[in-house]
Amino acid sequence: MEPTIEDEKIVFVNKIVYRFRKPKIGEIIVFRTTENPPLYFLKRIVATEGETIEFKNGEIFLNGKILEEPYVIYRSNWNIPAIKVKKDCVFVVGDNRGMSASEHLFTQVAIKNIIGRVIGFR
């Protein structure tokens, strides 16, 4: 999530917010994988259930329109074909877009695997 959240920072997470509402685009979340033991990641939501996301020359297209991302400093040249986000899932990606696509985690996350929303860090 660099440069937004640097390595070794402490993050504060609201663990109950998604009991009352669905996750929103732009929010940074903590989620766990389904592996045993689980791994935990911080990523930004860039699409929600039913939306279509695509990467063209590093730009994210959400439902065919460019997604404005003022938090991204290092742009990429990623090209990923359109993906429709599954029911009860969100699509996440990190803010460090300077990395090659092969080194980056692009994934759909089941809402049930979200620990919470990042509300601060230091």
Domain count, the chain: 1
pLDDT beyond 80 at 105: no
Q: What is the CATH number of the domain that holds 113?
A: 2.10.109.10
35-49 pLDDT, tens digit each = 999 999 999 999 999
Q: 87 Cβ partners below 8 Å, 6+ apart?
A: 49, 50
Please list the residues that pair with 65 across neighbouring strands.
62
4-18 pLDDT, tens digit each = 888 888 999 999 999
Assess if residue 63 is contained within a domain. yes
Model pTM score:
0.92
Query: Span 99-106, mean pLDDT?
Result: 71
pLDDT beyond 80 at 82: yes
Domain with 67 in it: 11-121
Q: 6 Cβ partners below 8 Å, 6+ apart?
A: none
According to the model, what pLDDT value does residue 30 have?
97
